[in-house]
């Protein structure tokens, strides 16, 4: 019984794929993605041999992939294919021209109708026992919970403002309805801010969260100039995120339709710089104004989707637990160093 991952040549989904292959040496992974494996992806999967199949196709167009997928004995689906509108310019440019305004119809079409097409294919396959949809913390509003400083739960506080978040939440609801209509075991996971191995610039994603940027700058010997040491985020290493997703694919029972996948706590820019200095003792940093800062984040964004996510559902239904934040960050820095040698 094999795993299908859509969007599997990208960031988090490629980590999910390799974790599955390492966990199940007698099984296969089938990736459906518009993009093939780039150089980093080929190196990442070098040990997979013939247990990895990459099908290049648009998730919206089953005529280009359904017949090929039907050849494989697929029991589990992780649907991560998505369009994430990312600014390719400066923060000032993004403020003037919201990235989603450049391709609004494409965002909705891929994120929503791509999900519908995959569900249509999956519902006709009795072999499929679990369907996991990869959603995002972007479905949440900017404030909450009401009883600060508690982490943000899955129920309530959902009020997406962007087309990305709206399309993600709409897809969650469609997954729920298909699960009811066709007796499909399905759930959606809402990722917090993910960093770690395999994060690189691709056609659909060109964004690095604060831990990635600080780790890279520290190893490059660059002076880190944050606009403040106080801004926070719920940051999770990509390997931990992958293991959480796989834990849900293998859980004997899913008691909920929505699960946060996060560290469950916040970490500040100051914390991350401190962790980086433990690996690079001569790291230099100085707080700067926004005109000269190279790490800019709004200190006011500290609740709702920007704060800590409640992970108690995930911990109740699986044996997954996040690693200590410092340990995970150092693991990422070690991975970067190994890649540079």
- Going 36 to 38 to 42 to 44, the CA torsion angle's sign is negative
pLDDT at site 96: 62
295: left (phi over 0), alpha (psi -120 to 50) or beta: beta
Domain ranges of the chain: 2-208+235-264+305-323
Determine the pLDDT at residue 325: 98
Burial (CB count within 10 angstroms: exposed 0-12, middle 13-18, buried 19+), residue 255? exposed
Q: What's the token pair of residue 92?
A: 């000032």
- Please, what is the angle between helix 238-250 and helix 325-340, to 10°? 110
Phi, psi angle pair for 95, to nearest 5°: -70, -35
The fold of 2-208+235-264+305-323 is Rossmann fold (3.40.50)
Does residue 93 sit in helix, strand or coil? helix
Q: What is the pLDDT at residue 272?
A: 98
By residue count, the chain amounts to: 341
In Å, how far are 170, 266, 290, 318 from 157, measured between CA atoms? 15, 18, 31, 24
Q: How far apart are CA 235 and CA 271, in angstroms?
A: 12
Please report the pLDDT score of residue 206 as a whole number: 63
The encoded tokens of residue 267 equal 């970490």
CB-count exposure of residue 50 (10 Å: 0-12, 13-18, 19+): exposed
SS3 assignment, position 121 = helix
Q: What per-residue confidence (pLDDT) applies to 149?
A: 81
Q: Which is it for strands 232-233 and 267-268: parallel, antiparallel or unpaired?
A: antiparallel
Peptide bond into 145 cis (omega under 30): yes
pTM: 0.95
How confident is the prediction along the chain (341 residues), in pLDDT tens digits per residue?
A: 899 999 999 999 999 999 999 999 999 999 999 999 999 999 999 999 999 999 999 999 999 999 999 999 999 999 999 988 765 444 454 456 777 888 899 999 999 999 999 999 999 999 999 999 999 999 999 999 988 789 999 999 999 999 999 999 999 999 999 999 999 999 999 999 999 999 987 766 666 789 999 999 999 999 999 999 999 999 999 999 999 999 999 999 999 999 999 999 999 999 999 999 999 999 999 999 988 999 999 999 999 999 999 999 999 999 999 999 999 999 999 999 998 87
Q: Which ranges of the chain would DSSP assign to H, the alpha helix?
A: 12-23, 39-44, 66-69, 91-96, 104-108, 114-122, 163-182, 210-220, 238-250, 269-279, 312-317, 325-340
Per-residue burial over 276-303, b if 16 or more Cβ lie within 10 Å, else e, is beebbeebebeebeeeebebbbeeeebb
Please provide residue 171's backbone torsions phi and psi, each rounded to the nearest 5 degrees. -65, -40
Would you call the peptide bond into 149 cis, given omega within 30 degrees of 0 as the criterion? yes
């Amino acid at each position: 019984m094999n795993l299908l991952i859509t969007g599997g040549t990208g960031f988090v989904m490629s980590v999910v794929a390799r974790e599955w292959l390492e966990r199940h040496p007698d099984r296969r992974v089938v990736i459906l993605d518009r993009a093939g494996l780039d150089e980093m992806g080929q190196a990442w999967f070098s040990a997979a041999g013939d247990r990895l199949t990459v099908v290049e196709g648009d998730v919206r167009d089953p005529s280009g992939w359904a017949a090929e997928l039907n050849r494989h004995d697929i029991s589990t689906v992780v649907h991560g294919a998505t369009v994430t509108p990312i600014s390719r310019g400066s923060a000032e440019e993004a403020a003037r021209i919201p990235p989603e305004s450049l391709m609004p119809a494409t965002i909705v079409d891929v994120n929503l109708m791509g999900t519908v097409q995959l569900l249509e294919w999956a519902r006709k396959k009795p072999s499929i026992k679990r369907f996991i949809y990869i959603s995002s913390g972007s479905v949440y509003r900017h404030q909450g919970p009401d009883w600060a400083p508690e982490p943000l739960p899955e129920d309530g506080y959902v009020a997406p403002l962007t087309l990305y978040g709206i399309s993600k939440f709409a897809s969650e609801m469609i997954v729920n309805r298909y699960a009811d209509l066709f007796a499909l075991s399905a759930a959606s996971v809402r990722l917090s801010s993910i960093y770690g191995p395999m994060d690189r610039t691709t056609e659909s994603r060109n964004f690095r969260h604060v831990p990635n940027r600080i780790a890279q700058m520290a190893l490059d010997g660059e002076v880190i100039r944050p606009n403040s040491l106080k801004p926070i985020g719920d940051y999770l290493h990509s390997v931990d995120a992958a293991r959480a997703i796989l834990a849900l694919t293998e859980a004997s029972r899913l008691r909920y339709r929505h699960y946060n996948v996060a560290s469950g706590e916040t970490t500040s820019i100051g914390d991350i710089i401190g962790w980086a200095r433990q690996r690079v003792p001569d790291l230099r940093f100085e707080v700067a104004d926004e005109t000269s800062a190279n790490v800019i984040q709004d200190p006011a964004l500290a609740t709702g989707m920007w704060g800590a996510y409640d992970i108690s559902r995930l911990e109740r239904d699986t044996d997954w637990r996040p690693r200590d934040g410092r340990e995970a960050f150092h693991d990422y820095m070690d991975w970067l160093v190994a890649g540079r040698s």
